[in-house]
Amino acid sequence: MQEIAPSSSPSTLTAAHDRRRRYYQRIKPLHLKPLWEELHALVPNEPRTPCVPALWCYADIRPKLMESAELISAEEAVRRVLILENPALPGSSSITQSLYAGLQLIMPGEIAPSHRHVQSALRFIVDGRGAYTTVSGERTTMAPGDFIITPSWTWHDHGHAADEGASGPVVWLDGLDIPMVRFFDAGFAENDTARAQHVTRPEGHSYARFGYNMAPVRHDHASGTSPIFSYPYARSREALARLQRDEPADPWLGWKLRYLNPLTGGAPMPTMATFLQLLPAGFNSRIHHATDGTVYCVVEGRGTADIGGQPFRFQPQDIFVVPSWAPLRLLADEDTVLFSYSDRPVQQAIGIHREAFLSA
């Protein structure tokens, strides 16, 4: 708010405030607001997010997910998901102002029918084996720790082939850019005419073409999304284990790798970056700030995430969120692996991403 000269008398100050208040009331019906009353909120000295740190304990959520299977089928629900909503953003279906997160459940013998939408999606497998997802005619089987992409406007369906020796429910973390697309009012979606896609390429086809630091010579990939849509955990975990043997841990991040689009070297999706990091037993990180609010899923290990001075104890399969610019310190009781995703590619594309690594 604009300051009134301190030399003014109390009566003058009161009169000035009254005049301004009456003026604001007169311009309000014209849908006008004075910038000088809003400037500090619109252009803050540093990020002021309404989001709060939070942790979702998987042991508490899993029984609720299983109960949902008794209430509605995957086909009727289209996607049977419990949304992880930031406690400070009720009604928004958002975990941060730009990101969505949910836990999806599919039971043996079920199909979540084929559809497509402009929102980009990622799947990170949390619990169970035997389910699959099919993206643009290529199927991939899901295993815990796998990172799978559904690019914008691609047909995709999920299923659980109980008749092929698989058993038990499968749960994965859905991460989407729904709030970003909603901000631009640019959302489209379409249901397929068939429940499930016809598989036209063998499993592992995209990885064979692009996953070995090579690409077909005559391939023309116009999409900004990685041509690899399934990144198996076994390969990613092996890379972290090799780094742990060969080099010291970064004091802030441990050993942290970002998933790549092999054709560009950038993020696998235009709107979301994804990471996998290993923290050694006894690790106590230095404090790190970043403007990209980040969602974490615990793959292995136990420890504490200190977010803005709030300690959150985590264990495997738990999920927690670090809001924009919140100071983060990670402590590992044992060797710990964390998957995470954020809106970093968008922030970098428009030149607003910022990080700070504190020395103490």
Strands 131-135, 328-332: pairing is unpaired
Output the CA torsion 236→240→246→247 (10° steps): 130
Domain 54-357 has CATH 2.60.120.10: yes
How many whole angstroms separate alpha carbon 60 and alpha carbon 53?
Answer: 18
Per-residue CA distances from 92 to 33, 46, 83, 325 (Å)? 26, 24, 10, 21
Q: Exposed, middle or buried by CB within 10 Å (0-12, 13-18, 19+), for 337?
A: buried
Identify the pLDDT of residue 7: 58
The residue extents of the domains of the chain are 10-42, 54-357
Identify the pLDDT of residue 334: 98
pLDDT above 70 covers a percentage of the chain that reads 96
Tens of pLDDT, residue by residue over 38-50, are 999 999 999 999 9
Identify the pLDDT of residue 8: 65
Nearest to 227 by CA among 261, 257, 203, 195: 261
Nearest to 324 by CA among 40, 37, 44, 84: 44
Q: Exposed, middle or buried by CB within 10 Å (0-12, 13-18, 19+), for 129?
A: middle
Tens of pLDDT, residue by residue over 281-303, are 999 999 999 999 999 999 999 99
Structure token digits, residue 233: 């955990």
Mean pLDDT by 10 residues, the chain (360 residues): 58 90 97 96 95 98 98 97 98 98 96 96 96 94 97 95 73 98 97 92 91 86 89 97 98 98 95 98 98 98 98 98 98 98 98 94
Q: Exposed, middle or buried by CB within 10 Å (0-12, 13-18, 19+), for 125?
A: buried
Identify the pLDDT of residue 1: 46
Could you tell me where the beta strands, DSSP code E, fall in 128-214? Answer: 131-135, 138-141, 147-150, 156-160, 170-176, 189-191
The distance of Cα 304 from the centroid of its chain, to the nearest Å, equals 20
Mean residue pLDDT across the chain: 94
Tens of pLDDT, residue by residue over 121-132, are 999 999 999 899
Identify the pLDDT of residue 304: 98
Strands 310-314, 319-322: pairing is unpaired
Identify the pLDDT of residue 206: 93
Tens of pLDDT, residue by residue over 300-327, are 999 999 999 999 999 999 999 999 999 9
